[in-house]
Structure 1
Amino acid sequence: MTALSINLNKIALIRNSRDTEYPSVIEHAQRCIDAGADGITVHPRPDQRHIRADDCYALAEMLSVEFNIEGNPLAAPMKSDRQGVSDYPGFLEIVRRTRPAQCTLVPDNNSQLTSDHGFDLTRDGDMLAPIIGELKSLGCRVSLFMDPIEEQIRLASDIGADRIELYTGPYAAAYGRAEQHEVLTRFTEASVVAADCGLGLNAGHDLNLHNLATFKTAMHELLEVSIGHAFTVDAIELGLNAAINAYLACLR
């Protein structure tokens, strides 16, 4: 069965809207695990708008499921402008300290609201190759955030990635529209290319209870999805345990 990793960024975002530790990222991680989640994902950005470096350290100490840390490997240290919040030490330093089971590299920047495209490895491959080597030496499985483009996926294999995570924003935008079949076909073909290259396949971004089952069925050997924004909304409406069960049902 495809693994379900819950992204806790939105829980941290709610917490950060007040000068408080409530809701607790750690407690929500444990609740997700108890409800059946297979993993926990976080994406610590330099401005620490949601998940903070300290959250990553605390999660690494308590998690009994797979820990996936996402981020831009070039994200540099940044001073915190909030009292009581530690400085951001740089993305790779967080990974070196926590050694998550999986590290997903994403080509975002500080001005982006959220991740919205995959790597261009014709441009970034030479820069990423030694970083991938270091992460693998730390015991991390390395996944690259990618668009469903065959030549790019093959380059991900060439530079040593273990998996790719397909950026599914375009599929979610097309779902229920006339272009859904055409867009989904591109993702299906990309999943076949990944398997042909020996790459494991993950997916994430704007997947939800409406579009997830269709996507999962169309993919070739989908190993993992990470879901945060939609899950948080569904947990408010359905309750956390019921939301976890609903997403697991989509993946069966």
Structure 2
Amino acid sequence: MKKINIKGPIIDSQTGEFMSLFGADSYAYPSRLAKELTEANGEDIVLEINSPGGYTSSGAEMYTALKEYSGKVEAHVVGEADSAGSLIAMSADKVLMSPMALMMIHRASGGNQGTATDMNSTAQALNELDQNIVNVYVAKTGKSESDIYDLMQKTTWMNAKTAIQEGFADGLMEFNDKNSNESNAPAFVNAAVPIPHLQDNMLEEFKQFMQSRQKTNDVNKTTEDNKKTELINHKLGLLFGGI
């Protein structure tokens, strides 16, 4: 089975691609998952999840891509599957948790500014989003909508045993004796990590900047190579009696 990592905060694709240019790969985002699913080409996959959550829209896109994937999907929660991270786990045909893993579910959150009408619109959008999230958890657990909503309202943390009992997971990950040392203790500070976000056109502008730098480097290299060639020809000319 092919392994795909869902590690770190869940962010938008534009920001994720920008961060990857600097070697910062500790994020999960839709375009990265889409590329890995294409490479998997229908092969059964294991999602290795350790995420404090992030943008719900990105999580929804990743959830949909995984539900549409033709191969079987097995989720292994090795650290945390919180918030949007838990939604991605729900996309799997089977969810297994490390004995040290945690899962957290809660209501959607967001901010806005403007008039009272704007605030009411934001509240209405959040309520609709909550209903979508409830539907996903109901489909996995078989619980009633009211039971799921109560768990989200309270912000519910579940260890592996509780998640299995509540229907959010199907079982524990199994380990060989030689690999039984579990080092994926939950790091609560991850939930407070700021999620980076790029403004429109920043990625494209940076790409153009890098391309211009590359062109400048190519011109400088060509100039340097020409100087070296001229020097070699001059020395050869002196050596063989030329000018």
TM-score by length of 2: 0.31
Choose 1 or 2 for highest CA Rg.
2
